Structure 1
Amino acid sequence: MTVTCDNPDIAALLPRLAATDPGVRRIALIELADLGEPEALPWLTAALAGDSDPSVRLEAAARLEAWEEPAVVQALCEALADRERAVGEAAAQSLAQLKSSEAGALLLPWAHHSEAFVRVSALRALRELRLPASAEVALAALADPAAAIRREAVGILGWLHHTPAVPALAQRLAEDEDDQVRRAAAGALGFAAQPAVVQALQGALGDPAWAVREEAATTLGKVGDASAGAALVQALADGYWQVRLRAARALGRLKLAEAQPALISLLGHGISNLRKEAALALGELGDELAVSALQAAAEDSDPEVRKAVRIALVQLQR
């Protein structure tokens, strides 16, 4: 690394960047990053790669998040494997801010790294970039022994709406040993309105983990297949009110008249959020037979429930 620079602001900081005291180097690095000058990047990446003090390397990793130059992305990827985990975590956070597909392409090889943390971080950064080339990487990662990596892979495939991955995602939903992977798979399948998907999601309404059942109910509402109506009505009796709430919302979106008796019974539930959702769903169903039940709930003790009842009654009386 040269110790000279034509930029006077950067040049003024160089002696402090070479100081023996890591605290001095760290403050100088902060001031260097605050300049926002592309000419400063070589010093920032050099500090990330080679400074002997982890606090300085961590600061460099954090300060590089706004840059998408290939040299910066490469330096951050290499820092994922830093011997200090905190430095790797800061690098992962900066990589997660990437927005360009060109920068994302540099991440792909790191999804095959020998360290699980590096693989997870690379996949997480790839997810929101929606890079088509990441689909193949994510499909392979669905078989990774680390659950965290499988979760990130599911997220990528869902964001990409990658239709060829539907069978594999349905399998993760049905069989994965990790409930967070199953939950992610339930959410990821929302783009695929296929009979096999609806069947897999209905099966997930009986999952041992309530969070998976909740996500499955939500996704069934998004998929919009009326054949799931009976399973969703049954889910209105789930032991967890969160699942009941999502099932009620899904039934409202599907406009299934056969759900009306079960939804009316929820207007008297002890949890106000559930009463609110039941009222809104009844409004969506459009059946005037629910008017009397909603009128009876118009004096509910919770103002949000009363508001939902008013909205539902307006819908039904149009």
Structure 2
Amino acid sequence: MTKTNPGRFFEDYRIGQVIRHAVPRTVAEGERALYHALYPARHALYSSDEFASNCGLESSPMDDLLAFHIVFGKTVPDVSLNAVANLGYAQGRWLAPVWPGDTLRSESQVIGLKQNSNGKSGVVWVRTEGLNQMEEPVLDYVRWVMVRKRDPDAPAPETVVPDLAPVVMPEDLVFPEGLDFSDYDFDLAGEPHRWGDYQLGEKIDHVDGVTIEEAEHMLATRLWQNTAKVHFDATNREDGRRLIYGGHVISMARALSFNGLANAQMIVALNGGTHANPCFAGDTVRAWSEVLDKAETPAPGVGAIRLRLVATKGDSGAFRLKDAEGRYHPDVLLDLDYWALMPV
């Protein structure tokens, strides 16, 4: 009897299937320190208990993307161990802060299936929920993945493509209890720019760049317990290269966005995201952002800003995205659409 787990293949998924992912993870302060060592993360709310307390929170929560990576990493052995590519995200919401000492687990439901025309793979859509030790949801999102088939002759399932909203509406955003930017300290945050200083359509070159190292991305992927073969096993790709985990690029670009968006403190929704081109060790990641929308919120002193974050391995100041045919420029690594909270 075989005791090892080869992972799920496309024909192993069924609409409505619920998967409880192993292994729960208790989050400690050491992970915050390691996250900030891996990425140039400097947003004040996640760096200082005193700053967070001044903003109405009990202490500094864990970084939003740190929580995302942990919840995401739990799903990999069940959803994307045999993936060809992680294709996109939608309808993501951060529902509660994650605090040091919280224990997180993940649960996913299959909501869509579509076999590819080549018969060798198919696309699987899952809705994933991250829960804390009190079974309270802290995060949920939809993602879709291209997964290999074990047997190319296995019959195709009935095609079900979920109808996904292109954006999380402002009224559906969730705010941490007590959040209040009325007495926000702009000096300690690092920049003077308020919610009202940003204009729709404005583009911001974040200027700085970081060259991706093999050791750092391997450490990060292990930290999130992400077991996808393409990130670890150099024999898993024909070119013999280990693919950089897309979340590593997301966190790097978000950290780089501090220069120009230091006051976009909390990520509260993920409207959509595409890993446009692969990233490998040796690539230098830069980033730019575009202001897509703004909304008032019921939280005192708090405004919501919708941002497009683009990571590139070329000149970020060129603001390249797509060509005339709608194809991503080859220098574009990431196209991410999210809502953040900012002092008004």
- Please tell me the TM-score bracket, short chain as reference: under 0.3
The structure richer in helix per residue is 1
Q: Looking at both structures, which has the greater relative contact order when contacts are Cα pairs under 8 Å and sequence separation is at least 6?
A: 2
Q: Please, what TM-score do these two structures have when normalized by structure 2?
A: 0.21
| Greater Rg over alpha carbons, structure | 1
